[in-house]
Amino acid sequence: MSLTRRDFLRTAAAGGAVATANALTAGRALADFTPTKSKKKLRILILGGTAFLGPATIEVARARGHEITLFNRGRTNQHLYPDLEKLKGDRFDDLAALETGEWDVCIDNSGYIPRTVKASAELLKGRVKQYIFVSSISVFADFSARGLDEKSAVGTMTEEEISAAKGMRDITGTNYGPLKALCEQANTEVFGRNACNIRPGLIVGPLDRSDRFTYWPVRVSQGGEVLAPGTPETVTQVIDVRDLAEFIVLAAEKGYGGTYNATSPAEELTMGELLETCQKVSGSDATFTWADAAFLEEQEVAAWSDMPVWVPLEGEEAGHPFINVKKAVGAGLTFRPISETVRGTLDWWNTVPQERKDKPMRSGLTPEREAEVLAAWHAKGD
């Protein structure tokens, strides 16, 4: 069973100490601590900023004492941050609000099309010292190999394909990664050593509207027999949105340039550990029935979308959960325990309107479909 880039897109739609071993599973939660103020107050411009990673970044930056300006269309979560300076515009065709003003750093977490990243970078050049672009590990050309690092080859596109991608509606599972790679290139061409490209893996945690991780804490909290993919020993990688936000702000404070893969350390987190943590944190009576990849493929249960977070460790996508993050860890990327990610996700989910909870989750199986697959598994006699 292989993970297609379209499956990935459906669920990804793209200071501190060095992390110690088992950082995802041991130690006191970072949430228990109040961030200290930064020694230097930065003026930070965020392109986007009102959904998922944006709010997480804003919260960290505010806690560190930085001054924040937001630039976006003003359509999503307009009620948030009434005390912050807000510039209204559209990065596709209206950058007028960015024609004046100076900032220490621009954090671009809403760039997907190279020409828009190039346009904003060129416009801000000379008035912004550092440009941080939030990219994706989807940039890599070949996921069959393990240990992909910042020097590994990225995907490419023809000039015709680049020209065809004019807006968000033109992004597909095939071109998402190469477009992100070209966005990185545009940033670097304009800002040089002051360009920082951060490549998150699967971003998870509070406010994630995709349900790409939320499915597991919520499903396990409901108890009963839970269909689980592969084996408990299958490794995976995720990055808590709050940990990513902390690293982004750290990169701004340190003035980092270059490229950084940003997800959890390879081979530290397993599917078994993840699901058991969901059970312990929620206190449910859930039990897990592990179905192998071949059976799930027969049942047309897809990795990553129907079974979130999981990728079979074979085939052209087998390298997905083995991304090398040593560079980012050495630069200060740290990780809270996976229990804190699960707890934070459930705490947030409990605040979601009931109308949203009553709808099918955007990733994972419906209860009816899960029951069908479990029945088929038991009918095999396994």
**In contact, 44 and 61? CB cutoff 8 Å:** yes
For 195-212, letters b (16+ CB in 10 Å) and e give bbbbbbbbbbbbbbebbb
List pLDDT tens digits, range 97-106: 999 999 999 9
Give the pLDDT score at 381. 78
> At residue 346, what is the residue type?
L
Which letter does DSSP use for residue 14 in this model? -
List pLDDT tens digits, range 211-222: 999 999 999 999
List pLDDT tens digits, range 49-86: 889 999 999 999 999 999 999 999 998 888 899 999 99
Per-domain boundaries in the chain: 5-374
pLDDT at 329 over 60: yes
Give the pLDDT score at 315. 87
- The band of 34, judged by pLDDT with boundaries at 50, 70 and 90, is low
pLDDT at 227 over 50: yes
CATH number for the domain whose boundaries are 5-374: 3.40.50.720
Taking the C-alpha atoms of residue 227 and residue 365, their distance in angstroms, rounded to an integer, is 9
- H or E element at residue 178: helix 176-191
Could you tell me what percent of the chain has a pLDDT over 90? 85
Stretch 314-338: mean pLDDT: 95
Residues 6+ apart with CB under 8 A from 364: 211, 215, 216, 219, 306, 307, 308
Give the pLDDT score at 36. 85
